[in-house]
Chains A and B, each alone.
Chain A
Amino acid sequence: MSDHSPSGRPGQVTITLDGVPREVPGGRSLAAALIAIDEPVTRHDRAGRPRAAYCGMGVCFECTVTVDGAPLIRSCQEPVRAGMSVDTTGEEAR
């Protein structure tokens, strides 16, 4: 089990999360990788309250983020890839 894992281990990949480079465990979905580094929030509601993955299987659309400029990507269905740029702040994610 490699949740909440320290960085720098084999199998880690670096992504850009809201403009900041972050090491996350690879070989899993983007949502899982974000949860593993204690950054589960994928979007905010109109009042600014955080939202995150709920169903884990692609049906609730709570885990949507912008990936490399493409909005409304379900992070629970998206494999995490080294170098991907993930934005959780965009309007379109709301």
Chain B
Amino acid sequence: MNTTTPDLLVVGAGPAGLAAAVTAATHGARVLVVDEQPRPGGQIWRRPDPANPGPDPLSAPAYAAGRALLTRAAAHPGIDFAHHTTAWGVFATRTAPDGWAAPPGTPVPAGPRVAVHGPQGVEVLLPRALLLTAGAYDLPVPLPGWTLPGFLTVGGIQALLKGHRTLAGRRIVLAGAHPLLLIAAAQLVRAGADVAEVAFAQHLPAPADLIRAVAALPGNRAKVAEGLAALRTLRRAGVPVHTRTLLLRAEGEQHVAAAVLARVDQDWRPVPGSARTVGCDTVGTGYGFVPSTELARQAGCAAHWNGPAGGWVLDHDDAMRTSLPHIWAAGELTGVAGAEHAVATGRRAGLDIGRSLGLLESAVHDRELRPVEAELAATGRMAAFLDHTCAPHRAGLHALADDDTVLCRCEEITFGGVRRTLADNPGLGTADAVKLLTRAGMGPCQGRMCGPALLELLHRETGVPRETIGAFTARPPVKPLPVDALARAHDATTTAESPTDAGPVVR
């Protein structure tokens, strides 16, 4: 295959991307999957370097579907992978006059130009169809001590374990609201870590009851079994699992030395006098996930605010088409809903892409659609249940930061700094305007870490609706890349600056 002109370019080799790639390739599409990681699997199906021996982190029954999909994708002759490769810009797409792409199944016009940066430098890919499945990352929750070494997201702790066979620390406190905490805690225990405590902020009877309630939901047996197995592991190891308990702050000088936790009420407000200190060297937080929409928004795909589904999520129709012609989205970009739902949305997109590319007859498409729709319904029910019970209480989390708490980790902007700017500039009502005045969001992470907290801060201080405040505008390159690589890509974009010796990095 000429990899610069695939039928379908998939950005992201996680559950959604792999499912779509296999579905489209099965019907004859030539598919290229680009991903930043060294191996396919995304965040959830990470595997270590084969040169680093040890048990397979995906050996648990809950990962059986993932293992099967990884094997199918790797074996399919119609699928190529480009790893260590970042897609940083999508160019030459036009918004349809009515703001929506063509209806499902419509043949795709000439595709977009997609700029990637990988081991070979910058390349411009010309797929006929583009599927964005960039996934999600842990919701960053700024609170005192969150910039200390040893303070990680639970996803980061899991990535170290699954992808690198590395324990993040010796004695670990996990806190948050998402069931991933249970799964990660059990994996850590099995790997030999001392998990000091798992703290859920929700006001629930007990995680076991929660999971029993979930058991009533059909079509999600593997997921429920995974949760129960994790609970059993934690109980056997004597790990305390608390509900109604919130992490207030982390303490330490050069490294995390303790976590301060407190009982909370229904609105996640600490009960006075209930704070206690747990000695530990590592803290991980897991309050849910933020869809990684920056590339899609840079391309021009419309997004809307959906707090329980992760924040800004992409507009999409039933066939996973975005608001732009020839761009589809699947998985967490369309609303955070877990790996199983991501697989289902990936299959759904793969079918529509296959038909739109003229590879899949309508009759075949419709026949294959039925089981996929059943899968979407089942996984969607589970996602809705989790949205309902595990969504972050944004006001409660916002209240954890004091004026000295770092909001923007890259530019070292504090909550107090932003509040002062707001006081000095009444009428500031968009995230971009605050970015220009404070520099929050201008660092290398380009607002991924401070964006959600800044939105909440602005919303609470000004009363302006989140939809009006908006997300930071996403511009290429959506992740930093070397200027010399960018210079070689001058035909990818007219916004690139001419090559100079100005510096090693553009932001």
| Cβ-neighbour of B163 out of A26, A29, A49, A71 (below 8 A) | A29
Residue B167 lies at the interface, judged by CB distance under 8 Å to chain A: yes
**Cβ A79 vs Cβ B49 within 8 A:** yes
- CB neighbours of B445 from chain A (8 A): 59-62
Q: Chain A 50-65 against B: per-residue CB contact (8 Å), 1 yes, 0 no? A: 1111111111111010
- CB neighbours of A46 from chain B (8 A): 412
**Cβ A55 vs Cβ B36 within 8 A:** no
Residue B2 lies at the interface, judged by CB distance under 8 Å to chain A: no
**Cβ A60 vs Cβ B140 within 8 A:** yes
A32-B155 CB under 8 A given contacts A56-B160, A70-B504: no
* Number of A-B contacts defined by CB within 8 Å: 136
Q: How far is the CB of B13 from chain A (nearest CB, A)?
A: 13
| Cβ-neighbour of A54 out of B36, B51, B170, B409 (below 8 A) | B409
**Cβ A54 vs Cβ B444 within 8 A:** no
**Cβ B164 vs Cβ A57 within 8 A:** no
Residue A76 lies at the interface, judged by CB distance under 8 Å to chain B: yes
Residue B153 lies at the interface, judged by CB distance under 8 Å to chain A: yes
The 5 closest A-B pairs by CB, nearest first: A56-B156, A27-B52, A52-B149, A28-B164, A32-B164
- Chain A residues engaging chain B, CB cutoff 8 angstroms: 1-4, 11, 25-29, 31-33, 35-36, 40-41, 45-47, 49-62, 64, 70-72, 76-77, 79, 92
- Chain B residues engaging chain A, CB cutoff 8 angstroms: 36-38, 43, 48-49, 51-54, 84, 137-138, 140, 146-153, 155-160, 163-170, 191-192, 254-255, 292, 409-410, 412, 443-445, 448-449, 480, 482, 504-505
A27-B165, A55-B155 given; name 5 further pairs at CB < 8 Å.
Answer: A28-B49, A32-B165, A45-B412, A55-B152, A56-B153
20 A-B residue pairs with CB within 8 Å: A2-B165, A3-B166, A4-B167, A25-B166, A28-B48, A28-B164, A50-B149, A50-B254, A52-B150, A54-B153, A56-B152, A56-B156, A56-B157, A56-B159, A57-B43, A57-B155, A61-B480, A62-B147, A62-B409, A72-B444
